[in-house]
Amino acid sequence: MTYTSIPDAQAIRDAEDRIRPYLSETPLLEVPDLDAVMGAPLQVKLESLQRTGSFKARGALNWLLTAAPGELRRGLVTVSAGNHALALAWAAAMRDVPVTVVMPEGSSPLKVRGTQALGAQVIVQGTIQEAVAYCHRLRDESGLSLVHPYNDPRVMAGQGTVGLELLRQCSAIGRVLCPIGGGGLISGLGLALKAARPEVELIGVEPAGAATMRHAWDCQDPTAALDSVDTWAASLAPVVVGENTYAVSRQVVDDILTVSEESVRQATRCLLSNAHLVVEPGAAVGLAALIEHRLPEVTGDTVLVLTGANLDLEQVDRCLTH
């Protein structure tokens, strides 16, 4: 089965049925020590505990399980700063499909090593723009199938299974704070949430140095690209979003907030030291939004989606000592 358009709620339910034998539901927890620091009750969705260390395993696996034989015959290619690379390498290994991953210079050494350990070929290539261009060149010259890290409807449907879990786990959701990179997670999650609970407030959060979706919204153009990105939250740093994720975000996302690098560090430090949770900087931006923006009260529970835990030890040191 393949999708030719934006996934609907049924496509997300089908994706959940498809991936559930391989991926477990991640916990939704209350963390009293975090509540004490923030002065308000929060719940955290621990996608940081998913296979390969992030939510990305959902979308990558759904893509692989819906791929036609012709899409797999010559192998796969993608571009990624790390989490999608890890997820696709893991999922492809289940079907013994070769994967080439193009990663920009400066990518996390932990993610590079992890992707290679899962059997993928990793090519480190220039800036993110140069890495994307090289990925497309490999696709065109070698006949590899591109698995887009966020703009593919099958990937979006897989990520949307996070929303189905939230609906089961928390009957009193009032607000969800979700990191945005290219928009695959917030789009899929939003489709699932809003189909069942349209009153739930869904807020996306981006680092100010890579406010890619906010830029596209402001320009009213999904192809509006940033000239460059500069953020510690490398997992949230594409220079352009996608037409699919842009279109869905305009339907399901209530607002997009940007946060400073200092707030991202503070939030990451808080989650490490006060909440006792290992998360990477990109996963902490929801908490950074609460720290920085002091959002008004909302009826119901506030949920933070903690998207990943692939944190280099050097990042831990930087977070705790700066």
What letters, b where the CB count within 10 A reaches 16 and e where it falls short, cover 129-161? bebbebbeebbeeeebbbbbbbbbbbbbbbbbb
3-state secondary structure at position 174: strand
pLDDT at 313 (0 to 100): 73
Query: Is the distance from CB of 66 to CB of 73 less than 8 angstroms?
Result: no
Structure tokens that stand for 241 in this block: 């979003």
pLDDT confidence band for 293 (50 / 70 / 90): confident
Average pLDDT, the chain: 93
Which amino acid is present at 128? I
pLDDT confidence band for 2 (50 / 70 / 90): very low
pLDDT confidence band for 276 (50 / 70 / 90): very high
The least confident of 154-168, 186-200, 299-313 is 299-313
Cα–Cα distance, 298 to 303 (Å, whole number): 11
Cα–Cα distance, 88 to 59 (Å, whole number): 9
Which domains are present in the chain? 9-54+152-321 (3.40.50.1100), 57-146 (3.40.50.1100)
pLDDT at 316 (0 to 100): 67
What letters, b where the CB count within 10 A reaches 16 and e where it falls short, cover 52-78? bbbbbbbbbbbbbbbbeeebbeebbbb
Span 232-260, pLDDT tens digits? 888 898 999 999 999 999 999 999 999 99
Tell me which H or E stretch contains 304: strand 301-306
pLDDT at 4 (0 to 100): 55
Closest CA relative to residue 63, chosen from 24, 99, 110, 35: 99
Span 100-114, pLDDT tens digits? 999 999 888 889 999
CA dist list (Å): 289 to 180, 206, 268: 12, 9, 12
Query: Is the distance from CB of 275 to CB of 34 less than 8 angstroms?
Result: yes
Query: Is the distance from CB of 167 to CB of 141 less than 8 angstroms?
Result: no
Span 33-59, pLDDT tens digits? 999 988 889 999 999 999 999 999 999
Classify strands 121-124 and 145-146 as parallel, antiparallel or unpaired: unpaired
Span 180-215, pLDDT tens digits? 999 999 999 999 999 999 999 999 999 999 999 999
Span 92-150, pLDDT tens digits? 999 999 999 999 998 888 899 999 999 999 999 998 889 999 999 999 999 999 999 99
Residues 86-93, mean pLDDT to the nearest whole number:
97
More confident residue, 299 or 313: 299
Closest CA relative to residue 153, chosen from 210, 100, 191: 191
